[in-house]
Amino acid sequence: MKCDEPNDFLYRFEGTMGFGGIKKQVIDFNYSHFMLRGSTLENTEWVYGMVIYTGKDSKIAQNSTKTSMKTSSLEKMLNYLVLLTFFMQNALCALAAYLDLKAWDENQKG
């Protein structure tokens, strides 16, 4: 079996398959012989099939685009406020620990 390298062109496919023996028989394939992942075949009793591209090499996977993350302005503001609250609480905890340690030192001396 010889065919195109994996690519993202959904409507183009070319390949050949040869059978050995004394009489070499070659069958040409094109897009009309090609089924994409998730396709269903109806009104036929049997079919011969061969998997050519799998995983990231499949035409559907190569043709898909990465989805962008959509966030509203309210979500952005809330993210900022949550981070601000986190850092403010850490700063207040550090300040309280410092003041408590200072008071403990003075109490030990006195």
In total, the chain counts a number of residues equal to 110
The DSSP 8-state label assigned to residue 22 in this structure reads S
Q: What is the reported pLDDT for 103?
A: 84
pLDDT in tens, 26-84: 888 887 877 777 788 888 888 888 877 777 777 777 777 777 788 899 999 999 999 99
Alpha helices in the chain (DSSP H): 59-63, 73-109
Residues 53 and 59 sit within 8 Å (Cβ to Cβ): yes
Alpha-carbon separation of residue 28 from 15, 44, 45, 59 (angstroms): 6, 22, 23, 20
CA-based nearest residue to 4, from 58, 76, 80, 47: 58
